[in-house]
Amino acid sequence: MMNRVFLIVSLIFALVFAPSGFGASAAQAKSASTSLRAVFLECRENFYNNVPPSFTLERRKSLSAQAQGLCFDGFAVLHSGVSRTPLWAAEHLTRERVTLAASLVREDSFRVESRLPHADRAELRDYSRSGYDRGHLAPNGDMASTSQQYDSFSLANIAPQNATHNRNLWRHIEGSTRQLARKYGDVYVVTGVAFLGENVQQIGGRVLVPTHFYKAVYIPSERAAGVYFSPNTENARYEVISLDELAERTGIKAMPSVPAGVRARTHELLKPADDGVQDGERASPADLPVALEEVGDLTKASSWLLFLLEIFKYLVGLLNE
């Protein structure tokens, strides 16, 4: 009997004090970032100076958890298995590309991304009757070939988006970005989502709904950059912020190889088509915590506690034999 009690106590001690696995260590996070850079070598033409977006030091561990880089025809994506959405999509838009894209007829072909693990990816049923649009990060309107267009409908490039926001303000922001490519010849674009505050919603019981969408634009010929930043709501509000401000709010350094002075300045981008859209107010500092990392930690913590509970029940059963 004493041997059995000793064994049970030892097992409980080992379970409680073993490494929790709630988050990667700093070394693991750094390794993950290195692996992502290697993945993106295949599609580095989508990034300014061939350098993909990176994480701020404070957010690296949480944002890199369950993140997977994917190369597509015409764009690159960093997908999160925590939110089951892309975190960002990067593109290099040229005058020739957007001209060709304008002549392409849209053919919807939304589909599951088979390169992602089942547990980490969104399914088509998650969006069914959710009340949200399947919002592109790299938009179909930027795609210059049927191959690029087909790739843009992967759910790895899709996030839940308020229907009014997607079909009005955001559509105009996408159009203004293409207009910049026509005007200046080429621009680099990183479109992403943010999960700010504590009340992040879900669809399908598993896909997180972004609180904000953003589109960062760099114009090499002008050495100028700015970011459209807009809440994912039906109210037509947006603001233009700097790349540095985007990194502070979201933990994403969208274009790390852009000169520091350019990243710190806010270039006034084209105003979206005049449909009553007005510049919005800045986000409150209280909104800045990234809820994505909190939700991920809670999910992992809940699973770990349930596992401990089952082990405890089993051990108690042994004592009662």
Closest by CA to 232, choosing from 214, 218, 259, is 214
Please give the structure tokens belonging to residue 266: 């806010």
- Write down the catalytic residue from 79, 92, 118, 136: 136
Closest by CA to 138, choosing from 84, 103, 98, is 98
Alpha helix segments (H runs only) across 80-131:
95-102, 124-127
Residue whose structure tokens are 């540095």: 244
Alpha helix segments (H runs only) across 90-241:
95-102, 124-127, 146-152, 163-167, 169-184
What Rg do the C-alpha atoms of the chain give, in angstroms? 22
Q: Report the length, in residues, of the chain.
A: 321
Residue 235, marked binder: no
- Whether 136 sits among the annotated catalytic residues: the reply is yes
Phi, then psi, of 166 in degrees rounded to 5: -65, -40
Please give the structure tokens belonging to residue 48: 């300014």
Phi, then psi, of 124 in degrees rounded to 5: -55, -35
Rounded (to 5) percent helix, strand, coil in the chain? 45, 25, 30
Task: Give the C-alpha distances (Å, rounded to integers) separating 154 from 112, 127, 138, 188, 275.
Answer: 6, 13, 10, 21, 30
All residues at 6 or more sequence positions from 163 whose CB lies less than 8 Å from its CB, including other chains: 131, 132, 133, 234
All residues at 6 or more sequence positions from 66 whose CB lies less than 8 Å from its CB, including other chains: 80, 81, 82, 120, 296
Q: How far apart are CA 46 and CA 11, in angstroms?
A: 51
Please give the structure tokens belonging to residue 86: 């892309």
Residue whose structure tokens are 């674009």: 189
Residue numbers annotated as active site? 136
The annotation places the binding site for Mg(2+) at 166
